[in-house]
Each structure stands twice: as C-alpha cells, then as structure tokens.
Chain A
C-alpha cells in the first residue's frame, strides 16, 4: 500500500503573527516557517505504518511556491520515500487543495491519504473532508489512534463527547489530531540521505483543476485586545472581587 501525506508549510506555531497596519495581510517577511504540526503527525503515522509493514511507500505532497523545496526535503529526511511538489504562486484554499490532492490520488492510487485536521495558519479544518467527498471515499477525522488490518482502518476519533471509533474501508482519508503520535526528530545523516530522494515537480496549472469557487479575503484585522486586569493579594480578596461582579 502507498500512503499519500499532506505536508504543508506554515508560519511556525511559536510565532506571534502580526497583522499589517493597512489590513492587507499578516507579516510573513522574515518569519520562521515550519511544517504544519498536524502534518508532521500525519507523516509520522505514515512512517510507522510503513515500519510495521502495512505500507510500502510514503509520498508527501506540498502545494505552494518554488521555495517549498527545503521544506519537502525535511519531510524526506524524516523518512518519506519521495515528494510531489505542486507549484503555484497563488494562495491555495482548501477546496483547491482537495481538488489537487484528488488529481494526485487518481495518479498514485494510494490505499490511504493522511492529512492534518487543520493547518495552523488558516485553521480551516476542511481539506481532508473535501477530498473524501470528491473522491467518494470514507473519512476518519481527528484521529487519535489508527489501526489497519484486512483492508480496513479502525480509527479512534477525538470528538467533543469523548472518543468515537469508526471502521472504514480502504482507501480512505484520515485527518490527524494532536495525540495520535509524537513525531520523530530529524537526524543530520538523514538530511544528507534525503538529498538524493526524488521530488516530482508539477505545475498546478498543468493538472487541469478548477481553482475557482474561492473565498475572497477583503480585510485582515488584529483581534480585539482584552484590557489588562487587576492583581489581588489573597484568596479573600479574590472571592470579594468575584462576589462584587456577581460571579459567585
């Protein structure tokens, strides 16, 4: 079985993103970029399935500008067999990302597609589900545990009410939650080895996907600030303050 993994580059989660003063976007110049944490988890899960002998090949996919190569090399160093780089200079929204992934699914016929439940830049939480819809295959979102056997995946999902377990036929789309696994660290020799691993470069325009139906982002604003509060000195003062506000 082959596993396709969504491997998106985002602003690192430690960066406190600033909105540009003119409201046209967020400041990304000179900001640290990293793999979407959920995609590192997706890749780790795929690698573990390969190590268990469930899968033979792990292919990472990045959709983005030409300079995505270094990011994809990190995924290869982590252990992916090869990468597909779909190049575009435009910002790609989830519906387009899903349409692109569908094209690649048709080409590669994976038994499983694993993507992050959300990318921490746009926090859309859509791409995996949209791909599953377009592909007409099962989805198991927010996965906290995955087991594969007999052409099926049994997935425990982190839902509001607790843990829900689903059985889905393969091929299927799984989206990762935080506690699925802890991604491995990349070792220096692996970075050297990754240099010889193949990256297929495909221009988005050549895939013949519809890139329409986009949301138009018309304005970026900083979130409203909460005003700084007061410090109290002990438990009695805190209780008095809460009673005064009618909260106790």
Chain B
C-alpha cells in the first residue's frame, strides 16, 4: 500500500499595514473608516500614556506590581473594535486598550493594581471578565460563555486573550478542544509577544507557529501581524463571522512584542538582548499607525501635541479618581464571600478575631466570673 498524505495544510500570515508603512489597498481599503482609524490611534496614545504613569506610580510606591502593555496595544484594541458590545472579552492582563475601548473605566484597572478589589466591580452589561492572574485558565470560561450564547441563540460570541506562555497550560488545550468539538462561537486570541517573563516562546512551542496549535483541534487558524491593527481587525471580523454563522471557533496568533519588562517587578535586561528590543521598537504599532495617518493628511504634529495634553489630563483624572476613592473599611473582605454571610463569618467580622475567647466575648466574660 502506498503511503499517502491524509491531511495537508498551511498557516497563513495576514499583514495589511506592514512595518515599512506599505498598505495593502486590496485588503485594507474601507476596512476601517478614516475617522475610526483616527479614534483608534488616539486611544492607543492615551493607553500608552497610562503605562508611563502607572510605571511611575509603582516606582513611587503608590501602586503595586503593574504589567506594562506597551507595544501590544493594537491587538486587543483591534479585536474590541471588530467585535460587538454583546460579545464577551475574556482577557488576561495585557489588554487594557481593548477593555477601555469597550468602556471599562480606566480607574478600575488602576484600582486592581493598587490592591483594591473594587477594581473588579465591572459595570453591568460590559461583557468583560476581570483580569486573569492565573495564567491560561480564563480560556475555558470563554468557551463556556460562547456555549451559553449558542444555547440561548443570542448570536453572541466570546473572544479570549492570552499569551504565548499560556498555550502551554492544559486548560488552554481543553478550552480549544471543547470549543471545536461542541461547535462553539469562540475566538482564541493569542498574543505572542516572544516572552513569558524570561522564557522565550521556543520553550512553549517548538512548531514554527503557535497558530498551528488550532489545527490539531480542527479549527481555522491564522497568524497575523499583531502590530498591524488593520490585520487584527480583519482577522477578528472573519473569525466573528465564522462564529456567528457557523458556530465555529477560530484560533488567531497575533505576533507582537512586549516592549517593557514583564511587570514592574521584572528586569528584562537579565535575559533578553537590547538588539532584539531595538528591532521591535521600530515595529511599534503606534508609530506605524501614525505613519498611515500622516501619509493621508489625517494627522499632524499640532494634533499630536494637543492629543498629548489630552492624554495627560485624561490619565491624571483617572489616577485622581482611583486615589480619591474612599478608604476600604477594614472588614470589607468579609462582605462578598457569599450572598448571605454565614454565622461563622459574622462572628469573625464583628470581632475581627479568630481566637475563641476573642470571638466569643460572652464565653470570655463567663470565664472571668468562673
């Protein structure tokens, strides 16, 4: 019997606006109206400024550990732009731009990193989940959220974001397998930024692309230039269409780069070359988009200067709101444990004690008498 291939495939890479500023008119024309491109660019600049300020807040002791998003803004922003409000965004922690585009108040993200759970009080109807700290766990929730949409027939989909490192976790594979085999409307959006803290992507995936992980589950997959917001928008739109009409999941690998340290607790100089960093600075999604706008006469230095001022005021106001929030009562962490507080917690909360003599003042009094 001859040996013959039973399956052959290839992985495509989508770029519309490349790092040299070349724009694919065929794919890109009319993809995003000019005024929206301007709005997206403005949003990126504001988010970039947030990183700068958050970094300073951490260094001056006003905020805990913070993960900069710098260099990755086009990914989640493009996705949030391409999706509808009813679609879920199930994020990790480097998707500020997409979350703010959706409408998450900026001070909530600040509060989260300031060690305050009120940062997770997501306003109703936003359809976003809280930042996920445990890596590679949230994708299963997206699969469940997509499943619920299919169950209800409400035409919604779920888009989940995660890093290259997260694709090593077992939960990631289970999420992909469920979504593909149960025909669920889910978009798996991997931000391959080359690093998982100090570990290069090669340790997570020795295949030439992460995108091909989707193949193993029989889902459509594509690699996009993650610093090209046009490519991201097109890939997510195509995936959303597939999800809405055929209930099929898609895996998108967005190739991008973390221009900052992993978090403010990290020092990337310990493990990565300056050369690599410098090369990626030239591919900055914000610079690329600015070039596109300049070339079309949609932007100029004076607009940039006033945007910069606006960004500063915007962030300063958000920081102010986060800082001005009333102090948490010391017992606040008892409040949201259950819908109804059980007696043991009531007792602990009212005394702020765990020792029996401390939390049962009555027994303690009796003992004094005895």
User: Do A and B belong to a common assembly?
Assistant: no
**Which A residues form the contact surface with B (CB < 8 A)?**
none
B contacts, CB < 8 Å to A: none
